[in-house]
Structure 1
């Protein structure tokens, strides 16, 4: 497997998308009208982690473990504040709402050859919990930081040559 840099990755916000009773699949996101969130510096980590369930068994003197429900995590997005960027404006509006929104993260990993090479993507829904201005020292760029509570499974679509 070839290595690839995070440089060139993009994050997009879509419309309100309510998680259903079943996990999402890639086709559930094909009709989205995506708006890129520009000036993104970092998105952190995301993806399912199972809760740990334990039971201390008296007769064995041992803790038994099982996997419980899955949580796709919290994504901390940091970007250079741009008050004219449509994606950042959509993110701020989503922070004021109570709904889950569709998100897409695109990696810069498409194959060098193929009929129509495509990057891999990750789709999910999230509650936008915050969109806060961050001002540090005098010689720092003003940032917009946003906390996304992922509210669905993360759909993985691998890079392809077609």
Structure 2
């Protein structure tokens, strides 16, 4: 698969879906009803990073490093504020709870007649803030997603023959 632009990517919020100790699989997201979050300008980043666990070994005279807990980070979404958008309203409502929600990102990379690649994960909506800036700017809604699961990657696929 060649590289592709972020343009055309879409993010959706689903219903409540609690994090679990085992990694999620795509089947764990079946049956979720999705609502697109519209007017997205930036999706930010996400993905696992292990915490460093240093150990200072006297016998080796060297600091040894091991991997500890993993974190998929905080995804910072920036949207043009739309008071009527169902996806933005769902994110605002989700921020008011302590629940975790299913999220899906769909990329615009489908081969002709095929299906696009997707990413699935579970997150808490940690913050929803309004960014007002100066006169010649669009009012923005910033949504911080605290990702609490692995990122399930689904590759783009050629059409079935």
- Number of the residue aligned with 2:35: 35
- Number of the residue aligned with 2:88: 88
Question: Which consecutive aligned stretches of 4+ in structure 1 deviate over 2 angstroms post-superposition?
Answer: none
1:139 pairs with one of 131, 136, 141: 136
1:57 paired with 2:54, answer no
| Superposition deviation, residue 61 in structure 1 | 1.3
Unaligned runs of 5+ in 1: none
2:145 pairs with one of 145, 148, 152: 148
| Superposition deviation, residue 28 in structure 1 | 0.6
CA distance in 1, matches of 2:2, 2:20: 36
CA distance in 2, matches of 1:142, 1:52: 39
- Number of the residue aligned with 1:19: 19
SS of equivalent to 1:27: helix
CA distance in 1, matches of 2:46, 2:118: 13
SS of equivalent to 1:28: helix
CA distance in 1, matches of 2:119, 2:79: 19
CA distance in 1, matches of 2:85, 2:137: 20
Could you list the per-position Cα deviations for residues 4-58 of structure 1 after superposition, in whole angstroms to 9, with x for gaps in the alignment?
1100000000001001231110001111100000000001110111111110111
2:127 pairs with one of 110, 118, 130: 130
Q: TM-score, normalised by structure 1?
A: 0.95
Q: How many residues align?
A: 159
Unaligned runs of 5+ in 2: none
RMSD between superposed Cα atoms in Å = 1.0
SS of equivalent to 2:130: strand
CA distance in 1, matches of 2:14, 2:154: 17
Could you list the per-position Cα deviations for residues 67-118 of structure 1 after superposition, in whole angstroms to 9, with x for gaps in the alignment?
1111111000000000000000001000111100000011111113xxx511
